[in-house]
């Protein structure tokens, strides 16, 4: 990198790093509930999203397994579900796990 510019090669390397970290996470945590994973376009971050009726439980299981202590809850309003989000850094990659949960599951 010269002049502080981020290159395409940098972004590609960050995406590969995120893929490797996701593979390591999945290998280390067999048996956890399945959730959807996405890698940011710029690389360097992974986002897991728990969905469905068991989203709260799935999110809690992943937060515990990954040691994600930084949890934010956005309360429900107007009939929409509450949103849970937990974040941490792991292996140089930002990990975020989110879930939309009903009022009982969010507590």
* Residues 36/6, Cβ–Cβ less than 8 Å: no
Block residue for tokens 């989203």: 55
> By residue range, what is the domain housing residue 101?
8-106
Residue 1 located in a structural domain:
no
* Residues 20/92, Cβ–Cβ less than 8 Å: no
User: Could you tell me the pTM of the whole model?
Assistant: 0.79
Residue 94 located in a structural domain:
yes
Handedness of CA 62, 65, 70, 76 (dihedral sign): positive
Q: Which residues contact residue 3 at a Cβ distance below 8 angstroms, ignoring those fewer than 6 apart?
A: none
* Residues 3/16, Cβ–Cβ less than 8 Å: no
pLDDT reported for residue 2: 55
Residue 3 located in a structural domain:
no
Residue 21 located in a structural domain:
yes
Residue 63 located in a structural domain:
yes
Residue 43 located in a structural domain:
yes
Per residue in 85-106, pLDDT (tens digit) is 999 888 889 999 999 887 544 4
Per residue in 18-66, pLDDT (tens digit) is 999 999 999 999 999 999 999 988 778 999 999 888 998 999 999 999 9
Query: How many domains does the chain contain in total?
Result: 1
């Amino acid at each position: 990198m010269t002049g502080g510019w981020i290159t395409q090669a940098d972004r590609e390397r960050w995406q590969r790093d995120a893929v490797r970290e996701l593979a390591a996470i999945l290998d280390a945590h067999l048996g956890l509930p399945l959730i959807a994973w996405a890698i940011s376009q710029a690389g360097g971050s992974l986002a897991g999203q728990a969905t469905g009726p068991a989203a709260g439980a799935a999110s809690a299981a992943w937060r515990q397994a990954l040691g994600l202590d930084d949890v934010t809850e956005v309360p429900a309003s107007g009939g929409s579900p509450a949103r849970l989000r937990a974040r941490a850094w792991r292996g140089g990659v930002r990990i975020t796990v989110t879930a939309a949960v009903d009022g009982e599951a969010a507590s």
